[in-house]
Amino acid sequence: MWRREILLKGLQGLGVLAFSALPFGMARLLLPRQIHAGQQWIPLPGAQTPQTAFVAACIGCGLCGEVCPPRCIKFNNETNGSEAHTPYIDPAERGCILCAKCIEVCPTDALVATPIAEVKMGIAQIDRAACYPWVDQGVCGACVSICPLGERAISFEMWNQYRPIVQQGCVGCGLCVEICPEPSLPIRIVMRDEPTVAQHGLGIRRRSYQR
């Protein structure tokens, strides 16, 4: 029965193929399935966009983390997707100081050399219902004073000296998130393609309240 033989051969081949794919599957299954709490996740400065292109180009060597002076770069060893071992920044813990050492050391094209003003990690968004000066609960200005880009990224409102407003020049380094004294973090970094107050004015914000 040659048909049975061919079938058996095929099954054998499939078995060997499955066995050789086993280590890859095991390595992925071992990673605990855990999504980051909240939205505290931003890409590295100069990272390729979209995220899939960055993940494909990153080889997971960890060099970016090994040169980062503020130690803000963390690694995805908790999510079991194809993003395993790729770096990210959690601005709630430590923001990026835009020193570009990670871009310099990256052996691949995952991080592309970019002038500081053109880095696109995201854009800061302020929740005006929780920020102290915006609800008239005191004076702060911490985010404005720490911003490495100054006036073009974040500035005060014209009529109230302490109400921060995010400008279009914001690159999303996350230093303002790190410094924000309000525990609920009314300032956070969102992706550039999400609708934000800085891009679309207050209208979009009101709509989001109605949801």
Partner 1 sequence: MIVASVIQHHLNKLRWLVLSGVFALLVLLPFLYLYQTYEAAHAYDLLPPTEKAISDSMEWLTKPFTRDPENDLNSFKGTTWSGTLYGLKLSDPLAVIGQVAATLSVYWPFALTALIPVLLTLLLGRFYCGWICPATLLYELNDNLGTWLRKAGLPVSQRRLNRRLKYLVLVVGVLLSAITGSVVFASIYPPALVGREIYYAIAVSGFGAGAVFFILTLLFDLMVARRGFCRYVCPGGALYSLLGRFRLVRIQRKVETCNDCAKCNVVCQFDLDPLHDDFGQECNNCTACIAVCPTDALSFKLTIKDQTFQGPGHLGHLYRKQQGAS
Residues 143-162 that bind partner 1 (CB under 8 A): none
β-strand partners of 111:
47
Q: Of 49 and 52, which has the nearer Cβ to partner 1? A: 52
Binding test (CB under 8 A) with partner 1, winner from 71, 152, 200, 207: 71
Does position 15 interact with partner 1 (CB under 8 A)? The reply is: no
Does position 23 interact with partner 1 (CB under 8 A)? The reply is: yes
Binding test (CB under 8 A) with partner 1, winner from 6, 7, 11, 27: 27
Does position 30 interact with partner 1 (CB under 8 A)? The reply is: yes
Binding test (CB under 8 A) with partner 1, winner from 66, 157, 193, 194: 66
Does position 59 interact with partner 1 (CB under 8 A)? The reply is: yes
Nearest to 47 by CA among 92, 90, 108, 99: 108
Which class for 112: exposed (0-12), middle (13-18), buried (19 or more C-beta within 10 A)? Answer: middle
- Sign of the dihedral through C-alpha 114, 117, 62, 110: negative
Closest approach of Cβ 114 to partner 1, in Å? 16
Stretch that binds partner 1, among 27-35, 131-139, 141-149, 183-191 (CB under 8 A): 27-35
Which class for 129: exposed (0-12), middle (13-18), buried (19 or more C-beta within 10 A)? Answer: exposed
Does position 21 interact with partner 1 (CB under 8 A)? The reply is: yes
Q: Of 106 and 176, which has the nearer Cβ to partner 1? A: 106
Joined tokens for residue 119: 């880095």
Closest approach of Cβ 20 to partner 1, in Å? 4
Joined tokens for residue 117: 């003003």
Closest approach of Cβ 3 to partner 1, in Å? 26
Does position 14 interact with partner 1 (CB under 8 A)? The reply is: no
Nearest to 85 by CA among 62, 68, 115: 62
Does position 90 interact with partner 1 (CB under 8 A)? The reply is: no
Please give the residue ranges that form the binding site for partner 1 (CB under 8 A): 16-17, 19-21, 23-24, 26-28, 30-32, 52-53, 55-63, 65-71, 74-75, 77-78, 82-86, 101, 105, 107-109
